Structure 1
């Protein structure tokens, strides 16, 4: 696929298109009646009169106000829900993870208790410090 930015003919085609457009506009200008010309002039003056000059300080103040208020989309409940949804998913995920860890701890503890109760040794043997060292060495 050829990239338009590297096309050497592009400036020539754009210049030719601009020349054709200027020619057509000049032809259309010749066909405007004096009445249409006066109406266009009046409309142009009305449009210029409606433009209110904005000072630089007002534009900066308006920009600060807009940045503090935020986009108008905040008013939409769907946008708010979309912004809060990741937080809700995070909290639910942490609660599920905590429940899983707790169930795992209970299962491991139950397996240890079962092994102790079903084993051949008496429970007093597990309280002996020498037996604890022996178990550590066995592993």
Structure 2
């Protein structure tokens, strides 16, 4: 794949400075009327070039009221920027909803296991208040499920 050899803006400026210095070195030997025409032509060229350079500088870097620089703000709201902003937010919301659903399902299944153990066992209800006994029931239900 061939890349076109296009000069950058810095290359063009460097080349212009080089030619300007070469013209400045050659002007002492020229007659006065030619040097005046060259001086006027340079001023006209600089006057035409100046608005372009200033507009590029304003476009590339803006100074805020607090003295900080910002980049160009020409990034409009198009479809890709909206999707690029909305998709991570949508993925986050879906992930949080899935976590909530799984936790709610776990809590519901633990409550159902405790209720079924309470209804089928001959233990008093006060035994289920004890945290150690609740842990014992969870282990026992896990062992029973493994044997099934």
Sort the TM-score into its range (normalised by shorter chain).
0.3 to 0.5
* Structure with higher helix content: 1
TM-score (structure 2 length as normaliser): 0.43
Higher relative contact order (CA 8 A, sep 6+): 2
